[in-house]
Amino acid sequence: MAVRITNIQHFSLDDGPRIRTTVFLKGCNLACPWCCNPENISFEIENYVHDNQEESFGYDISLDDLEKEILKDEVFYTENNGGVTFSGGEPLLQIRELKPLLKSLRSKNINICFETSLSVPSDLLEIAIEYIDEIFIDMKILDKEEAKNVLNLDVDSYYKNLEIINSSEIDKNRITFRIPLNNEYTLKDDNVKNILKCIEKYSDFNVEIFKTHNLAESKYESLNQDFTNFSAVDDNELNEIFEKIKELNSDVKIISL
C-alpha cells in the first residue's frame, strides 16, 4: 500500500503540540485562492522545467518506507511527547490508504494529528476518527454560495463533519479551529458573523487565527500557475477580530503560518 506525498518535514513546530514529523499528502479538493501549498493541490505528480532545471512535485511512498521515515524521529515522540501530523493537501482524502499506518502508529502510542479542511465525505472522516489525538480544522468561508464558488467547499458537509467530530471521543482541548484572515474573503462582514456563530456553537474547541500572506508566489511561478496578491490585514483588523472571538472563546490565539 502506498500514499502520494510531496514532503516529510522533520522537527516541525507549527503543526501540532511539541515537536512533530509532518507528512504532506498530495491532493486537495478545494482551491483556496490564498493557498500557500499549491504544490499539494493536484493529485498528479507534477514535473516542470524552469531555467533548464527540472522540478518535480509529489511522489508515491510505501507505508513501510513512510513509517521508517517517521520512526527516525521516535526520540521526539517518546521523550518530548511530540508526534506525527498528517497535513496536505487534504490528508483525509487518502485515509483508506493511510489506515494501516495509523494502526501501527497507534500501537506504538505515537500521538497522531490531522490538519484538515473537513471538505470530505463523512465516511472518510469516520475512518480517521478513532486515530485522531489532535485535529486542526480550517474555518474559511461559511456562506454556502460563496464557499462553493470561491473554494469549492460544500458548507453543509463541513457542518455535518463538525458534528461528527463534536460528538466523537476526541478530547475537546485537542480540537482547534484555524482561521486564515484576509480582507478579500474571510474578513468580510457577513463571513465574520458566520465565523462567530460557529465559534460560539463549538466554544469548547480552541481557536487560532492568522493572516494569509503572499510568500508562496515563487511556488506558483514554479507550477506555472497564476498567483493572487492579497492585501495585507493590518494589526487593528487582526486585534478587532481577536477581541470579538475572545468574547466567545478565551482559548483564542494569534499565530503566524
Binding residues for ligand SF4 (CB under 6 A): 28, 30-32, 35, 37, 40-41, 88-90, 117
In angstroms and rounded to an integer, the radius of gyration of the C-alpha atoms of the chain is: 18
Residue 28 in contact with residue 124, Cβ under 8 Å? Answer: no
Question: Residue 103 CB, nearest distance to ligand SF4 (Å)?
Answer: 25
Ramachandran quadrant class, 27 (left: phi over 0; alpha: psi -120 to 50; beta: rest): left
Question: Residue 212 CB, nearest distance to ligand SF4 (Å)?
Answer: 9
Q: Which lies closer to ligand SF4 via its Cβ, residue 3 or residue 28? A: 28
Question: Residue 46 CB, nearest distance to ligand SF4 (Å)?
Answer: 14
Q: Which lies closer to ligand SF4 via its Cβ, residue 115 or residue 133? A: 115
Question: Residue 119 CB, nearest distance to ligand SF4 (Å)?
Answer: 7
Q: Which residue has the cell 490538519?
A: 115
- Per-residue DSSP letters for 155-218? HHHHHHHHHHHHTSSS-GGGEEEEEEE-TTTTTSHHHHHHHHHHHHHTTTSEEEEEE--STTHH
Bridge pairing between strands 59-62 and 83-87: unpaired
Question: Residue 19 CB, nearest distance to ligand SF4 (Å)?
Answer: 23
Q: Which lies closer to ligand SF4 via its Cβ, residue 26 or residue 76? A: 26
Q: Which lies closer to ligand SF4 via its Cβ, residue 213 or residue 244? A: 213
Estimate the share of the chain in helix, then strand, then coil, as percent rounded to the nearest 5. 40, 25, 35
Question: Residue 245 CB, nearest distance to ligand SF4 (Å)?
Answer: 20
Q: Which lies closer to ligand SF4 via its Cβ, residue 137 or residue 199? A: 137
Q: Which lies closer to ligand SF4 via its Cβ, residue 92 or residue 110? A: 92
Question: Residue 141 CB, nearest distance to ligand SF4 (Å)?
Answer: 11
Q: Buried (b) or exposed (e) across 87-107, using 16+ Cβ within 10 A?
A: bbbbbbbbbeebbebbeebee
Contacts of 113 (CB under 8 A, 6+ apart): 15, 16, 17, 20, 83, 84, 85, 86, 132, 133, 134, 135, 136
Q: Which lies closer to ligand SF4 via its Cβ, residue 144 or residue 172? A: 144
Helix (H, G, I), strand (E, B) or coil at 84: strand
* DSSP-derived secondary structure letter, 130: T
